Amino acid sequence: MVKKQEIIDRLAKVGITGLCTKRVLSKAIHVGYMTLYKEVEEGRLKTVDVDTFDLDSIVEWLMIRPRYIADKVIRKKEAAS
């Protein structure tokens, strides 16, 4: 199981440290818009405003759905920095 702090650290390394839009989240963790839309509609991912998410809701969602943490992408960005 992935720990909450580990998810926060991984998101920080790809540039998500607070509020972000659906577009930014989609690009950062390589998840499609429709996947995010479906998760919002089913109540798993909470929005702050229209197409805007906060860090806490993203972390809680990724703890429920750890498969959406794109390890390969995050590791590539970590290696580049």
β-partners of residue 20 are 53
pLDDT of res. 41: 96
Please state, rounded to an integer, the average pLDDT across all residues of the chain.
Answer: 87
pLDDT single digits (tens) 30-68? 899 999 999 999 999 999 999 999 999 999 999 998 888
Classify residue 25 by its DSSP letter: H
pTM: 0.82
**Above pLDDT 70, what percent of the chain?**
85
Q: What angle do CA 67, 73, 74 make, to 5 degrees?
A: 85
pLDDT of res. 80: 65
Please compute the mean of the pLDDT values over residues 71-80 and round it to a whole number: 58
